Structure 1
Amino acid sequence: MRARLRPGTIALWSTFVLVHVIVAWFGWVLPSQPMGDVVLVYQPWSHSALTGGAIVGVTEPWVYPQLALIPMILAHLLATPLVGSLGALGAYLIAWAVLVTVLDLVGFAVLVGRGRTHRRRVAGWFWCGALLLLGPIAMYRLDTVTVPLAVIGGLWLATRPAIGAALLTVGAWIKIWPAALVLAAVIAVKQRMRILLTAAAVTAGIVVLLFLLGADRELFGFLGQQTGRGLQIEAVAATPFLWLALAGKASIAYSFDILTFQIEAPGADVISAVLTPLMVLAVVSVAVLGAMKAARGAAWQRLFPPLALTLVTVLIVTNKVGSPQFQTWLIAPVILWVVLDRARAATPALLVLGLCALTFLVYPLSYDALLRAEPLPVLLLSIRNILLVILAAVGVASLLRVPAEARSR
């Protein structure tokens, strides 16, 4: 006989589906076009690729790794039967929401399943809360596609290391951030060589395929697109400039090249130029700390979660962009932390839930006022950015507390 779902598990699954419905609806009714990127850039990019036009990342420069085009094309194909009744843009929006929901449900099935494990149910409730608190940005951005890939890949690192590493690597070729989880796995997980070789093989296969498709010049163009950006208003390093803008000593301008709002003020370009090498230095420092713990025999269940979360948080804190959807990056590492080491996951989980709520309050609820540099959204964003720094500090402190254990254990 098949085991029945527990009532608590049924409630958890129902809540997860309901949260997706609510968040998808938020995208239609809240201000500042929270689903704007989906119809303004994803749909035209996919339409161009499917109709013989320019292919971003292959025939022209692109800000994302090339596999990012795949979910956009999948949404376009899903939308095709709906175009007649809803129009091209409406159909694409619904198709995107359905695609994200289906991917999340697959990730949730791997995480929770029939709900036999308490810590996995707790992680599932955290995922529900994070999605609801983060709002429509948790569905209507490319980053959301990588979250279930990161959850599944992270959960399978110990039992199916090759598949787990492959999923994380594919995620990194959609948005770069899952590469931090690959790095953490190579450092902390016992099957590190298998993980490293798999990641290298998947990357090599993708590179060869892209080269055959004609992406020789633009193969790694997304790296140059990132380094050439200015200081975006939501970035942690932009916080002092927002207060200067409040005082009339800095300004907020829209960049039509990369479709974001950036800071214009004396010193902003210098800060922007410093952030990329600072990010590299911070990532290397955290990786070295993790490697030292691993070399001393730290258990991977204790080492991997704080290492993964700290690396991801560092990528956000030292980033010159700081888009609100970056908070989705934090969801998967915390889920993995709850599953692997729930006793020490409470503080980072609460911090991430707070970050999601503050981000929702800024975008989309008060984003128009932020662009006018009004006090309340500037204060909310400042608190959010300070909380990000605190999360990074909590991650480092957790790494330092990871005990060295005998390798025989």
Structure 2
Amino acid sequence: MTVGPDGAASARPRPSMARRIVGGRLALWVAFLAVHATLVLLNLHGQGWPLGDVEAVYLQWAQQAANGWLRMGIDSAWVYPILAFAPMAVALAFGPAWYPETWLGLVSVLDAVAFAILLGGAALSRTRRIAAWWWLAFLLLLGPIALGRIDAVTVPIALVGMLFAFGRPRVAAALLTIATWIKVWPAALLAALVVAHRRRMEAVMVAVALSTGIVGVSLVAGSGLNVFGFIGEQTGRGLQVEAPIGVFWLWSIVAGSGESSIGYDRDILTYQISGPGVEVVSSLTTPVMALAAIGAVLVGVRAVRRGAAVLRVLAPLALTLVVVLMLANKVGSPQFATWLAAPVVLGLATDRRRFLLPALLAALVAATTQVIYPYWYGWLLAADPAFVLVLTLKAALLAVIAAWGVRTLWQAGSRRTGPPAIDSPIATARAEEA
């Protein structure tokens, strides 16, 4: 009801038919299908080779294991954690000829499950609707890489884990642990859960127990220390061309320096930068990343110890840790941008107004990523000034997101404020007590 100029009560005007249609579940699911159909077509028929890793690398690994020749992570050290092999093997279900299509279908199904959980079964609120629309826009801005890498399998699993974090921390910890054993980055979300949640020991015990089981099964299968091989494989890599910290050497190439160059590493199957100081900087990235992550965690701990609600800490800390992994990473692959989705969607679903800025910045990171990969990746490899500028802009956007995250966490620990309205599809009335 509203009150008119004459003081009489009048009925609140109902939203228009077009607004009800656009804001409803049907519109969201139609958009979900349209976005994923577009991404599938871009992966299969778009410019460049978006499915290069899937068709040339994942398929080979899956076939080698199926033929009994070589089991990655078991018979030899591997660049990925052991569970990464599961989706690669599943994608072989309909044979090698259909491997790319099966892979894309698998990722789309996982996204659909996460999307359904995000929307929830209750009345669709504005907050959840905004979070859902943002995720679809983010996927479209990111382009084919949103489906075409192993990271795409972990994103929906991590997203569901984050949505379960408030009311069911043990389920959240289990999902995030599984995602971590597929690709390491969800460990940042798990760390944020442990810091922010009062039932943190439950999450720790679930993560430890599940990890112990995964390692135990791998050892029984004959992996030996190969189950931890991904740690050494990552630390031994050079400075990849897309890495944010590589921008300095790319600009030196643009300036005409003959001391820096871009070359292809056939062992790692990626383009890397060489030049003065590159090896030193590459060796420092891991300790710098660890120190930055510890710093972010300490700011989160400060907020929690000063009484900040879990809803004020979890999403900002998760986003900050994810961005730290991206900024201080010597790999910097374009698919890393997919990591931003889980913490931003959680933030929009629980604290929409506070997360509007990082949501916008993350969308811009997705757009700059697609500009570079896969369509015009060759221009970056040639150190074209325009594309080096785009990569520099992407790094700057990530730095701003990190600064926003630290500032938000610091503010959360500087004053006692009431929690935002809980509108997560998984949050319960006991969320704050938890």
TM bracket (short chain): over 0.9
| 2:372 aligned with 1:362 | yes
| 2:237 aligned with 1:229 | yes
Q: Distance in 1 between matches of 2:250 and 2:179?
A: 33
Which residue number in structure 2 is paired with residue 129 of structure 1?
137
Q: Alpha-carbon deviation of 1:406?
A: 8.9
Local SS of the residue matching 1:151 = helix
Cα distance per residue 1:281-340 (max 9 Å; x no partner): 011111111111111111000111100000000000000000000000001110011112
Contact 1:162 1:198 in 2 (8 A): yes
Pick from 112, 119, 122 the counterpart of residue 105 of structure 1: 112
Pick from 302, 313, 321 the counterpart of residue 311 of structure 1: 321
Count the aligned residue pairs.
Answer: 395
Cα distance per residue 1:216-252 (max 9 Å; x no partner): 1212110111111100011111001111122332110
After superposition, residues 215-226 of structure 1 pair within 5 angstroms as 215-226=223-234
Local SS of the residue matching 1:111 = helix
Which residue number in structure 1 is paired with residue 305 of structure 2?
295
Which residue number in structure 2 is paired with residue 204 of structure 1?
212
**TM-score normalized by structure 1?**
0.94
After superposition, residues 218-297 of structure 1 pair within 5 angstroms as 218-249=226-257, 250-297=260-307
Cα distance per residue 1:168-204 (max 9 Å; x no partner): 0000000001111110000001211111111111111
- Specify the code of the residue in structure 2 equivalent to 1:143: D
**TM-score normalized by structure 2?**
0.89
Q: Distance in 2 between matches of 1:136 and 1:236?
A: 21
Q: Distance in 2 between matches of 1:275 and 1:306?
A: 23
Local SS of the residue matching 1:218 = helix
Which residue number in structure 2 is paired with residue 34 of structure 1?
50
Which residue number in structure 1 is paired with residue 343 of structure 2?
333
Contact 1:297 1:406 in 2 (8 A): no
- Specify the code of the residue in structure 1 equivalent to 2:169: P
Q: Distance in 1 between matches of 2:179 and 2:207?
A: 11
Contact 1:302 1:340 in 2 (8 A): no
Pick from 178, 181, 194 the counterpart of residue 173 of structure 1: 181
Q: Alpha-carbon deviation of 1:365?
A: 2.1
- Specify the code of the residue in structure 1 equivalent to 2:107: V
Q: Alpha-carbon deviation of 1:110?
A: 0.6
- Specify the code of the residue in structure 2 equivalent to 1:325: Q
Local SS of the residue matching 2:373 = helix
Q: Distance in 2 between matches of 1:365 and 1:377?
A: 12
- Specify the code of the residue in structure 1 equivalent to 2:166: A
- Specify the code of the residue in structure 1 equivalent to 2:386: L
Q: RMSD in angstroms over aligned alpha carbons?
A: 1.5
Q: Distance in 2 between matches of 1:338 and 1:319?
A: 26
Contact 1:32 1:368 in 2 (8 A): no
Gaps of 5+ in 2: 1-19, 419-431
| 2:147 aligned with 1:139 | yes
| TM superposition outliers: structure 1 runs of 4+ over 4 Å | 406-409
Contact 1:230 1:262 in 2 (8 A): yes
Q: Alpha-carbon deviation of 1:387?
A: 1.0
Local SS of the residue matching 1:153 = helix
- Specify the code of the residue in structure 2 equivalent to 1:168: L
Gaps of 5+ in 1: 1-5, 81-87
Q: Alpha-carbon deviation of 1:118?
A: 2.0
Pick from 387, 392, 408 the counterpart of residue 402 of structure 2: 392
- Specify the code of the residue in structure 2 equivalent to 1:398: T
After superposition, residues 182-193 of structure 1 pair within 5 angstroms as 182-193=190-201
Local SS of the residue matching 1:262 = strand
Cα distance per residue 1:83-117 (max 9 Å; x no partner): xxxxx34x101000100000000011110135522
Which residue number in structure 1 is paired with residue 428 of structure 2?
none
Q: Alpha-carbon deviation of 1:377?
A: 1.1
Which residue number in structure 2 is paired with residue 59 of structure 1?
75
Which residue number in structure 2 is paired with residue 343 of structure 1?
353
Q: Distance in 1 between matches of 2:377 and 2:355?
A: 31
- Specify the code of the residue in structure 1 equivalent to 2:109: V
Q: Distance in 2 between matches of 1:288 and 1:366?
A: 40
- Specify the code of the residue in structure 1 equivalent to 2:369: T
